[in-house]
Amino acid sequence: MSAPLSRDQEFLLPASTLFIALSLLAALLLNWLPWRGFWQALRPDFVALVLLYWCIHKPYRVGIGSAWVMGIFADVADASLFGQHALAYAVLAFGCIMLHRRMQMLDLRLQTLQIFPLLLLSYAVYATVHWQLHGYVAWGYFLGSVVSALLWAPLTVLLQALRHPRSDPDKL
């Protein structure tokens, strides 16, 4: 029986490439859920949240290139301007990778306060491209960054629970 891992050692555990890819795919599928009316303004960006998680915990495996590819998939799924999400996600990943060491030292409440401006920046990039294309900005769209920031802690807990190895295979 192995000793329980400390919080610092837990983040040194490897994450399988399959698990990273499946979590990003699940986030992409969650982004494809149909949201209508007022709820569309409150729609969180699951891909951005999962990208943030992996850019904080595994910045050498998931970075700006991965964010760009996920953005291209999101653009195709949304039928939006090609590269719009890709640019926003690449800026988000860059900001997160620049701050990943600081983020690892903070607890979830303080991480949420650091994540929120990054999400706002990502939404601002998306809104700027939308403004250049259509001539206006839908300010209600920024509500999604608030909802996304509020979902940061539950998503982090969920992904850490799924990543954490069980000490006893018979135990749930």
pLDDT tens, 115-158? 999 999 998 998 898 888 888 887 777 888 999 999 999 999 99
Alpha-carbon distance 71 to 83, whole Å? 7
What is the predicted pLDDT for the residue at 70?
A: 93
pLDDT of residue 78: 77
pLDDT of residue 169: 61
Q: Give the length of the chain.
A: 172
Both tokens of 57, joined, read 């915990």
Number of H helices, E strands in the chain: 9, 0
Residue 93 amino acid letter: A
Residues in the chain with pLDDT values less than 50? 1-5, 8
Q: Which domains are present in the chain?
A: 15-163 (1.10.1760)
